[in-house]
Amino acid sequence: MPSDIANQIVKQIFGDEKAKAIDSVNDALNSAAYNAVQARKLEFAKSMGFELDQTAQGAADEIDLPDGTDTEPTEVDIDGRKPEDPPADEVEQPTAEQEPEEQTDETDI
pLDDT at 32 over 80: yes
Identity (one letter) of the amino acid at 102?
A: E
Distance CA 45, CA 37 (A): 12
Contact 7, 23 (CB under 8 A): no
Q: How many H-runs (helices) and E-runs (strands) does the chain carry?
A: 3, 0
Contact 45, 57 (CB under 8 A): yes
Q: What is the pTM of this model?
A: 0.42
pLDDT at 63 over 60: yes
